[in-house]
């Protein structure tokens, strides 16, 4: 099972990938949405790792977020749903949606997790 620090490094690594994308000109907006979600996954897994919990499937992680991290459940769930829509339904998100809705959800997850694991 990866450690808390390994998950935090991966979350940051995923988020840093987005700096390589020019949101106004990329044809890979679907991957931007997906990377944002998987950054959130690693923040959640960092929180769980301290408790010796690992969620190998999304349904388990969803349940744990709902039960252990209810303050971020809506933001996390929105990220997951947006990722599903991008990956499986080829929904085309706008730059405004990424900047004003999706990326802020990741910041909510990130900030909450970091406040919980540093206290």
Average pLDDT, the chain: 93
> CATH assignment of 4-118?
1.20.120.330
Which whole number is the average pLDDT over 67-80? 98
Instruction: Check residue 119 and give its pLDDT.
Output: 58
- Burial tier of 53 (Cβ tally within 10 Å: 0-12, 13-18, 19+): middle
The predicted model scores a pTM of: 0.93
């Amino acid at each position: 099972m990866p450690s808390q620090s390994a998950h935090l490094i991966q979350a940051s690594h995923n988020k840093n990938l987005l700096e390589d994308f020019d949101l106004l000109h990329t044809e890979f907006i679907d991957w931007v949405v997906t990377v944002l979600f998987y950054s959130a996954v690693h923040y959640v897994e960092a929180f769980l790792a301290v408790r010796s919990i690992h969620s190998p499937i999304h349904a388990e992680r969803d349940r744990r977020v709902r039960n252990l991290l209810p303050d971020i459940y809506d933001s996390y769930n929105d990220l997951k749903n947006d990722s599903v829509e991008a990956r499986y339904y080829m929904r085309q998100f706008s730059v405004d949606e990424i900047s004003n809705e999706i990326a802020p959800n990741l910041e909510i997850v990130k900030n909450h997790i970091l406040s919980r694991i540093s206290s």
